[in-house]
Amino acid sequence: MEVIMEPPLRQLSKDSIKVWIWKEVIENIIGTAVLIVLFILDRIFSWPVWAGWILYGLVGLTVMGMIWAVFKVKLLQKQWRYGINEDFLYVKSGALKEEYKVIPMTKVQSVSTNEGPLLKKYNLSSVEVSTIGRMHVIPALPKAEAQKLRQQIALYSNVEEEDA
């Protein structure tokens, strides 16, 4: 029997790429600053040779991370899908490691929308869905869509669980 489930269709906002790039830039600036401080300390206190190797290794990883980030943010946005009906929330994400989650509405405990400074800049909002012991995040949706989704999930999940 060949059965295939329809994949969820709703996408993240295109602006999520910009948000993630900003985030990467900020993180990399902080990371680079930390590395520079470490190099200065290395000079001043003449740390052992292996400390230098580790530092060069970290520089390599940071540079690789920066290059990878350019592809990563585009792939993330391209691959993200979510879907919702009265009974389930579906979340699909990732390219190299593809993940598909099915979360029953009855198991949702609370749902929230969050807007940090970067998300605010592009009028976006993230949606966090808490279940028992786990949390699922839809990272960047247009604000109005996120608010609507929060209300929808709250409404659909407002039923008594049949099974404890």
Partner 1 sequence: MIKDGRNRYHPMAMLHDYIHLIKTTVPLFFLAFVLKADSSAWLFTYGRYILPAAVICSALYIPVKWYTKTYEILPSAIVVTSKLFTTSTKTIPYSKIQQVKRKTTWVHRLLGMTSLTLETSAEGRDGTVRFDVLRPSEASSMEQRVQQEKPDFERKTFLEKQDQENAQEDNHEQEEVERAEAATPVDQKEPRVIGDEKTIHFKPTKKDLIKASLASLSFLAVIPFAGSRLSDAEDLHFEKQVDGLFESLLSSIGMIVGALTVLTVIGVGLGFVRTYKKYGKYELASTFERIFITKGAWEQDYLSVRKDHVQAVLIEQSLMKRLLGFASLKLVIAGENEGEEEVTSVYPFFPVKRAYSLVHEVLPDYRVLGNMDRLPRRAFYLRLLRPSWIWVAVTAGLYFFKPGSFFIDLPWWAFSSALFVIIVLSRIQGYVHSRFQMDDTFIQFQAGGFTKTLYLSKRSKVIELEVSRNYVQQKSGLASVKLINRANPVRETIMNDVPDEFAERLKVWYTHQTLKRKAS
- The contact set with partner 1 (CB under 8 A) reads 1-5, 86-88, 94, 96-104, 107-117, 120, 130-135, 147, 150-151, 153-155, 157-160, 162-164
* Of residues 73 and 91, the one with the C-beta less far from partner 1: 91
Smallest distance from the beta carbon of 52 to partner 1, in angstroms? Answer: 18
User: Of 37 and 161, which has the nearer Cβ to partner 1?
Assistant: 161
Q: Which is nearer to partner 1, 67 or 133 (CB)?
A: 133
Q: CB under 8 Å, gap of 24 or more: what pairs does 68-71 form?
A: 69/20, 69/21, 69/24, 69/28
Give least dist CB 34 to partner 1, A: 21
| Shortest CB 18 distance to partner 1, Å | 18
Structure tokens that stand for 71 in this block: 């592809």
Q: Residues near 94 by Cβ (< 8 Å), separated by ≥ 6?
A: 76, 79
Residues in the chain, overall count: 164
- Report the residue number, 12 or 89, with the smaller CB distance to partner 1: 89
Cβ 35 to partner 1, closest distance in Å? 25
Instruction: Give 90's contacts (C-beta < 8 A, 6+ positions apart).
Output: 7, 8, 81, 82, 83, 84, 100, 101, 102, 103
